[in-house]
Amino acid sequence: MGKWTKLLLSVFGGITAILVIGLIAINLYIGKSKPFIDGERNVSFLDNDVEIVRDVNGVPHIEAGSDADLYRAQGYVQAQDRLFQMDLARRQASGRLSEVVGAAAVDTDKNFRTFSLRNAAEASYDGYGDEAKKVLAWFAEGVNAFIEQAREEGKLPYEFKIFGYEPELWTPIDSLTIGKYMAYDLGGNWHSLAVRHWALNNFPEEQARELFVSYPDNAPSIIEANLKTPVEVAGRFNSDLVPHEFNGSNNWVVSGDKTASGRPLLSNDPHLGLNTPSIWYQMHLQSPEQNVGGVIFAGVPGIILGHNEDIAWGVTNVGPDVQDLYIEIPNPENPTQFRYDGKWEQAEVRDETIKVKGDNDVPFKVIVTRHGPIMSNILYKSEDPGALFSMQWTALEPTKELEAIIRMNKASNWETFEAALEDFHAPAQNFVFAAKDGTIAYKANGRIPIRKKGDAQLPVPGDSSEYGWAGYVPYDELPRVVNPKVGFIATANNEVVDDSYPYHITKYWAQPYRYMRIAEVLGKGDNFTAEDMMELQMDQANLYAREFLQDLIGSVEATDKEGRYTDVISMLREWNQIDSPEAGAPLVFHKLMRQLPKTMLSSEMPGDVYRLMPGKGQIVDQMLRDAYSGKLGVWVSNYGGVDKWVYDAFETSIAEIEERFGNDSAKWKWGDFHQLAFPHSLSAASPIFAYFLNPEKQAIGGSNVTVQAAAFNDNGTVYHGASWRFVADLSDLSTTYHIVGPGQSGHMKSKWFHDQAEDWANGIYHETVLDGKVEKGYTLKLKAK
């Protein structure tokens, strides 16, 4: 062995030793912040002792002698497992990420300061009753007890050390702000108005008309206002900050007449981002006043989705039009004044200076008109804009969702549950309900505006009292069903009313395929069991392909005169229209359906406007339906016909597949492209973080249009779907069935960090009990001093 080789080995050995020592030190440090979950702790924030049993899946079962101690312990336990997530959530929703992240978060902070979520939370707090304020205070006491304890012991979650700060104490407003964030995530339609406004000003009216779900023929004054007073859209809004288009869910409830047990079955799987840690935290809360289990957002008290000993409930997003844009005319002499009924009206101006870690403060002001905040101010650069958008939104008004949650948790039948829903205003949700007494029910709940003019398809003039809201759909007239003869109720963000319904909810419903499949299965079957419901939640049947595939194949064959794609077409013809990870046809179909709007629309509009545009699937679906029925629209005619459009998109799709997976179509698999990720919030910062914090990617089936919801990005990464799966058999509510992907804990050293990632992919549920017979993992006794 030569001298240089020995030297290199010596150096390498030294570096390796340093790295090993460093990794051991890091491992020990990270391990030190694992929460103490087994044994006894003396605490000063409780009136009496509380027992917390974490079962084998990491679900905490909290038993307390009073509601006060129950909510205190709930705050403490959530902080044990999710404190860093809770802190980031309140910072993001409050527009305070830049304080700990730096300049990269300034635009995000501007966005959330403009949306005014924390201001809305503060206004809501003032309207809460004494009981809810006590619950918020008790919860905050528990969170703060953990923060102070962890700080004193040097055991704060390791992420705080990475970012170099310590968490502030928790407040009731923090919990309400996180609640408002969920309204933001689930209740947005402002960007659709902005895009339609842009389209009306950049395309001939007939061409713009086809980009509307339903064109407002009966509102010529609104159309004229949009044409006469254009507001800049392209380059003015950050499309990356718009909530995910596929935020939705599945839920259904089956009558005892159609079940093996003779009692109802209820299923729910809300569709949100699939992240590490999960957006949901599963818990069981028990005191002399309540015994309730299910999930809640980390940072919020109570149980928002789940069951107690008598009832079960679940939700999907209604998706009503609850945000309106107003075309505001500023005073050239004073840009904080806006024209209203012939006079200049002073707007509220809030100083929202943003503190930035390692940099200078960023001056920022939020201007709020009588309708709401000026949205165009987020990235506006023009000296004389001429006109700006403001936004009116139900969630910016005082609301009392926590009061609804508290009462829901203790409800015992449909009457008491429906009474509780009256305080659940934003976001509007489709609640399905089942009770041990056999009742099944549904209500589309929340504040849905009644407009003086228009139907939320376009922005309206902000300078006239002729426009605006005249109130809300009366609570007793919201869509409602109790014990239908058909024996089941299901929603999947689909249209829930027909033309006879007297009030406007929205024109923009989700594509109907998930609902159609659920109704198909429930309508044909009987003697259903909980296992059948779990199987249906994992169903991969693709009814989107059932509607369009044969026509699409016809278009390709009509154009492919040389037979270049004979093998691919044979694969598509032989496909059973199930989005199985082992099949190649779903890869071709979904790539094509995603490519069709790009081929038709993306070159005709700026990139940020295209990304901002929601409902591209619904718009393209209608273009295809019309074209295949012989009614060519402007877009399809201008392109050269439906066959050319479909063939060009197909050709692009196949080229992309071949570049990534080779030319042999027999080897293509949906699961090689369609892979589950569960990314951690820190993983984008470094491949090292990604390696340690993200679970391994997995091939999975399903898609954005199947009951097994698994929406994916252009790279195939599945990042959106059933963030929680839940099934309850009302014949025995002592045991219910759940999946919380990827796991319960937010700590990377916990065995519950990613333990449900594979379960999520494979549909393996865990049982959770309410009757105290917990298969014990760890027991923590908090001893009141």
pLDDT average, residue stretch 162-174? 96
Catalytic status, residue 287: no
pLDDT of residue 18 exceeding 80, the answer is no
pLDDT of residue 500: 94
The strand pair at 330-331 and 323-328 is best described as: unpaired
Nearest to 90 by CA among 167, 148, 186, 188: 167
Which range is least confidently modeled, 247-251, 411-415, 484-488? Answer: 247-251
In a domain, 629, yes or no: yes
CA distance 433 to 314: 7
Phi, psi dihedral angles at 293 (to 5 degrees)? -135, 155
For residue 686, pLDDT beyond 50: yes
- Sorting pLDDT into bands at 50, 70 and 90, what band is 772? confident
pLDDT at 636 over 50: yes
pLDDT, residue 6, reads 43
| In a domain? residue 635 | yes
Neighbours of 443 (CB within 10 A): 21
In a domain, 603, yes or no: yes
625 in any annotated domain? yes
Q: Which residue range(s) make up the domain with 610?
A: 543-577+584-668
Say which DSSP state 267 is in.
E
Given the residues 249, 580, 681, 703, select the one marked as catalytic.
Answer: 249
How far is Cα 406 from Cα 408, in angstroms, rounded to an integer? 6
In a domain, 210, yes or no: no
**Token digits of residue 724:** 């929680």
Q: Residue 635: is its pLDDT beyond 90?
A: yes
Is 60 exceeded by the pLDDT of residue 15? Answer: no
Find the range with the poorest average confidence among 29-33, 439-443, 591-595: 29-33
Q: Domain for residue 630, yes or no? A: yes
Number of compact structural domains in the chain: 1
Task: Show the CA angle centred on residue 725, arms to residues 722 and 731, nearest 5°.
Answer: 155
Please report, for the chain, how many H helices and E strands are present, in that order: 25, 31
pLDDT of residue 27: 62
> Residues 508-545: pLDDT tens digits?
899 999 999 999 999 999 999 999 999 999 999 999 99
Residue length of the chain: 785
- Between CA 319 and CA 607 the distance in angstroms is 25
Helices of type H across 220-335: 220-228
Which distant-in-sequence residues (6+ apart) come within 8 Å of 239 by Cβ? 191, 608, 611, 612
For position 784, what pLDDT does the model report? 96
Is 548 contained in some domain?
yes
Extract the annotated binding site for Ca(2+). Answer: 321, 324
pLDDT in tens, 563-578: 999 999 999 999 999 9
Comparing 295-304, 471-480, 513-522, 609-618, the range with the smallest average pLDDT is 609-618
Element (H, E) at 54: strand 50-55
Considering only CA atoms, give the Rg of the chain.
27
CA 336 to chain centre: 34
What's the predicted TM-score (pTM) here?
0.94
Q: Are 723 and 280 in contact (CB under 8 A)?
A: yes
Query: Above 60 in pLDDT, residue 24?
Result: no
Per 3-state DSSP, the chain is made up of helix, strand and coil in percentages (nearest 5) of 40, 20, 35
Q: How many CB atoms lie within 10 A of CB 213?
A: 16
Residue-averaged pLDDT of the chain: 93
Q: Is residue 660 part of a domain?
A: yes
The C-alpha atoms of residue 91 and residue 87 are separated, in whole angstroms, by 6
Distance between CA atoms of 249 and 510, rounded to whole angstroms?
Answer: 10
